[in-house]
Amino acid sequence: MPETLKKQMDQILENKGLGRPPRILLTAAECSPLAKTGGLADVVGSLPKYLRKMGFDARVMIPYHRIIKERYGDQVEYLFSFDIHMGWRTKFVGVNRLVLNKVTIWLIENEEYFGGPIYMSDREGEQYAFFTRAVLEALPQLDFIPDVIHCNDWHTGMLPLLLKTQYVYSPLGGTKTLLTIHNIAYQGLCKFDFVQDFLSIPDGCLGLMERYGMADFLKAGCVMADKVNTVSPSYAWEICTPEYGEGLDGVLSMRGDVGGIVNGIDQSVWNPGKDNSIPVKYTRSKMMGKVQCKTALLEAVGLEINPNRPLIGMVTRLVEQKGIELMMDAMDNLLNERDFAFVLLGNGERRYEDWFRGLEARHPGKVCAWIGYDDDLSHWIYAGCDFYLMPSRFEPCGISQLIAMAYGTLPIVRETGGLRDTVQAYNMFTGEGTGFSFANMDGGDMAYAIRRALDTYEDKDAMAQLMKQAMSVDSSCDKWAFDYGNLYLSMF
């Protein structure tokens, strides 16, 4: 933790005059490393660690998923249990505790809802409506009354609505809520009558969660949370527009206070100077190792071993969000026209996987499509490539471009959401920049940006300077936690 940030926070805390560390509860469906399907888990897993270093009493509450029981069951301590009423039903709630990296994680147990997958495809709404109720009922019994409950995505979106309509005269009456939107495309739409009954929502409050005749968990949070934010400043204003708002733009615009804090990356994992999974370590001042990483990568993925030929990489879920259509439009022509190699590590929708397999077959020795999920190979790609391509349709924050920059691999991105906020386009006149970018959802525009990158590759001095600049970008978690700390404190 940099001394200056810590000192600044100490001063802010002293001015607040609380006389004790501020209490923050992070609640979500996932938390890394216990249960993870996406970036949400990384945020919930890392943020409390750094908040504690800042002087906050930050704790976590998530479901006790089967996968956690299987992997961590022997470290989990049972605390107590009770019953709750969900409409006319009575449900069991077990409360357990696990301490990881000095952070207390409370685990809500119920076999029916959390004995299977993290998301029960046909009963997700019911699963997380139950979880939300259990969180609010468990907290007073744990003797932990948070100053702020930090909700994340639709799964905990209903919590601010319940808190403000049903818990005003409870010990939680003074607790504030923050809702962070990690991806507005998922809103937890659910049968309206069921949710009303299951959560006993009063008639007068139904409009707070209704959309198209369904119950919308995320809308409830957007309307009722004391504060709503998201994971980058650009995404914050984008979701207030019809183009990106997925129907919630009006509600969010009306609030007028939606901000964005860019996620940090965990430098104990993503640091080419300390990364044990890459072939040779390197740093900003000793870059030789990066060339060796490139040669090793080319060999490992079966591409022609020509370290002088530019290599573009991608590590991604293969879903519409990631802008694969742009590549379908432009990559074949570009590969025929220019001398460069391309490596993809990814999996997801079958149509995209098949297209990448085809691209590999059409350009042998120049293209590798590695279909699957592989943590180690992802490190090799970040370290071994010259450029990293991310032509996303939308990108709330994006972590891959931050990792790529930390490894001196220059991102080529579409200017949207967190990509716009974190990658500074190369200015050939001033030498400033950390990557390349293009604006339109258009294959031609993307190809033009790739050509600019390939042209720059020929200028060794410009490349060296750009790589240094990219590696100097501060994506540390300390700065990230400091910004969240400030946000919490502004709420009470």
- Contact between 315 and ligand ADP (CB under 6 A)? yes
- Contact between 80 and ligand ADP (CB under 6 A)? no
Residue type, 321: Q
Measured in Å, how far apart are the chain's first and last C-alpha atoms?
25
CB of 284 to ligand ADP, least distance (A): 21
> What span, in angstroms and rounded, lies between the C-alpha atoms of 41 and 28?
8
- Contact between 399 and ligand ADP (CB under 6 A)? yes
Q: Looking at 274, 317, 351, 362, which residue binds ligand ADP (CB under 6 A)?
A: 317
- Residue 152 or 316: the one with the smaller Cβ distance to ligand ADP is 316
CB of 375 to ligand ADP, least distance (A): 5
- Contact segment (CB under 6 A) with ligand ADP among 86-94, 217-225, 373-381, 466-474 equals 373-381
- Contact between 435 and ligand ADP (CB under 6 A)? no
- Residue 78 or 373: the one with the smaller Cβ distance to ligand ADP is 373
Residue 292 vs residues 298, 304, 470: alpha-carbon distances, Å: 10, 15, 19
Q: Where are the alpha helices (DSSP H) in 85-188?
A: 111-114, 124-141, 159-166
- Contact between 232 and ligand ADP (CB under 6 A)? no
Burial label for 14, CB within 10 Å (0-12, 13-18, 19+), is: exposed
Q: Looking at 39, 94, 188, 264, which residue binds ligand ADP (CB under 6 A)?
A: 39
Count of residues engaged in binding ligand ADP, rule: CB under 6 A = 16
CB of 402 to ligand ADP, least distance (A): 8
- Residue 61 or 402: the one with the smaller Cβ distance to ligand ADP is 402
- Contact between 409 and ligand ADP (CB under 6 A)? no
- Contact between 94 and ligand ADP (CB under 6 A)? no
> What span, in angstroms and rounded, lies between the C-alpha atoms of 138 and 27?
12
Residue 73 is classified by DSSP as G
- Contact between 375 and ligand ADP (CB under 6 A)? yes
CB of 52 to ligand ADP, least distance (A): 24
Q: Looking at 78, 80, 82, 373, which residue binds ligand ADP (CB under 6 A)?
A: 373
Structure tokens at 455: 């042209």
- Contact segment (CB under 6 A) with ligand ADP among 132-140, 370-378, 441-449, 456-464 equals 370-378
> What span, in angstroms and rounded, lies between the C-alpha atoms of 259 and 236?
6
CB of 322 to ligand ADP, least distance (A): 7
437 and 431 Cβ atoms separated by less than 8 Å = no
- Contact between 400 and ligand ADP (CB under 6 A)? yes
Q: Which string of DSSP letters, residue by residue, matches 271-333?
A: -TTT-TTSSS---SS--HHHHHHHHHHHHHTT----TTS-EEEEEEEESGGG-HHHHHHHHHH
Residue 119 is classified by DSSP as S
Structure tokens at 160: 């601010």
- Contact between 384 and ligand ADP (CB under 6 A)? no
> What span, in angstroms and rounded, lies between the C-alpha atoms of 434 and 282?
18
CB of 39 to ligand ADP, least distance (A): 4
Roughly what angle, to the nearest 10 degrees, separates helices 375-384 and 288-300? 130
CB of 108 to ligand ADP, least distance (A): 25
Q: Which string of DSSP letters, residue by residue, matches 13-56?
A: HHHHT-SSPPEEEEE-S-BTTTB-SSHHHHHHHHHHHHHHHTT-
- Contact between 423 and ligand ADP (CB under 6 A)? no
- Contact between 378 and ligand ADP (CB under 6 A)? yes
Q: Residues 328-357 vs ligand ADP: string with x where CB under 6 A? A: -----------------xxx----------
CB of 255 to ligand ADP, least distance (A): 25
- The residues of the shown chain that bind ligand ADP, judged by CB under 6 A, are 38-39, 315-317, 345-347, 373-375, 378, 397-400
